[in-house]
Amino acid sequence: MSAPLRMWTVYEGAKDVPTRYCARLWLVGSNGVASTDALIHTDAIEYLRDQFRAEGLVPLKRVAEDDPVIVEVWL
């Protein structure tokens, strides 16, 4: 079995962190998508982007069907 894909979703205005940007880690595998307890929050979205770029991740823009609080996803 292969390791799950790690996906960070970046939010602006999430219910539990309404005044900051936050990123949550999701795991995508053969059994579907699973949430984790991993959460990063900051006042500056560039902080998150710098962290993800440093890890070699790449961003995907949000699509119209996404929840309005989703800014982008990093893989």
User: pLDDT truncated to tens, each residue of the chain (75 aa)?
Assistant: 689 999 999 999 999 999 999 999 999 999 999 999 999 999 999 999 999 999 999 999 999 999 999 999 999
Give the model's pLDDT for residue 32: 94
Number of structural domains the chain divides into: 1
Encoding tokens for residue 35? 């949430």
Q: How far apart are CA 45 and CA 36, in angstroms?
A: 21
Domain membership of residue 70 as a residue range: 5-74
Q: How far apart are CA 41 and CA 45, in angstroms?
A: 9
The DSSP result for 20-59, as a single string, is EEEEEEEEEETTEEEEEEEEEEES-HHHHHHHHHHTT--E
